[in-house]
């Protein structure tokens, strides 16, 4: 996106972040925004969590969120996924059981930023966060991760929409109600 803050991207007059919180906020007691120094105005329940090593990649945000959360597990969502579906999130949370993390695979690709992470991931996340740019896959190699196949979600209507994200300005053109969306990345 050329350095644009994806959370603040507007779609039909509302920011991506506001849309995500509208969809998921009622399901969670705690809302943490990793990788930012302050929550945007109008989000009173949201609490900002700063990365220890800003600019070090998604693993930094995961580590910061795990460290700051008060519960035993969290659903982590990228700020560029305005169609995240609460039913899909519930399915991931229900699947967790004794596993440290639940990561779906969609189109054969792991969805690291649309997954459940438990407190058990924190020691490995802290250690790997010392290596700026360390991939999230390395964290999941070190914990008990349940890889959820897309067949486990297929009974949910429009479940694929939950994983659609906006990585380029061109991606913004297909969001409003289009059915010819690109595959999740």
Q: Write down the pLDDT at residue 69.
A: 95
Ranges of each domain in the chain:
6-173
| CATH code given to domain 6-173 | 3.90.550.10
- Rounded to two decimals, the pTM is 0.86
Mind listing the pLDDT tens digit for each residue in 53-86? 777 788 989 999 999 999 999 999 988 888 899 9
End-to-end C-alpha distance for the chain, whole angstroms: 14
In 25-165, at which residue ranges do the beta strands (DSSP E only) sit? 31-34, 46-49, 73-77, 101-106, 109-110, 114-118, 145-149
For residue 14, what are the CA distances in angstroms to 18, 21, 63, 92?
A: 6, 11, 28, 27
The per-type count for the chain, helices as H runs and strands as E runs, is 5, 9
Extract long-range pairs of 2-5: CB within 8 Å, 24+ residues apart. 2/169
Cα–Cα dist 49/129, whole Å = 15
pLDDT exceeds 90 at position 96: yes
DSSP 154: T
pLDDT exceeds 70 at position 10: no
Q: Which helix (H) or strand (E) holds 11?
A: strand 10-11
């Amino acid at each position: 996106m050329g350095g644009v803050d994806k959370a603040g991207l507007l779609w039909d007059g509302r920011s991506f972040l506001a849309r995500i919180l509208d969809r998921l906020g009622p399901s969670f007691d705690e809302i943490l925004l990793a990788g930012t120094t302050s929550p945007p105005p109008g989000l009173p329940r949201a609490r900002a969590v700063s990365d220890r090593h800003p600019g070090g990649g998604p693993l930094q945000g995961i580590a910061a969120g795990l460290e700051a959360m008060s519960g035993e597990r969290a659903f982590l969502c990228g700020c560029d996924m305005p169609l995240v579906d609460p039913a899909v999130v519930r399915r991931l949370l229900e699947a967790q059981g004794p596993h440290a993390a639940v990561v779906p695979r969609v189109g054969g690709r792991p969805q690291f930023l649309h997954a459940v992470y438990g407190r058990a991931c924190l020691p490995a996340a802290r250690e790997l966060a010392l290596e700026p740019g360390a991939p999230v896959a390395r964290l999941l190699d070190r914990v008990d991760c349940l890889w959820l196949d897309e067949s486990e979600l297929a009974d949910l209507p429009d479940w694929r929409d939950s994983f659609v994200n906006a990585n380029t300005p061109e991606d913004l053109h297909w969001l409003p109600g289009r059915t010819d969306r690109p595959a999740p990345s």
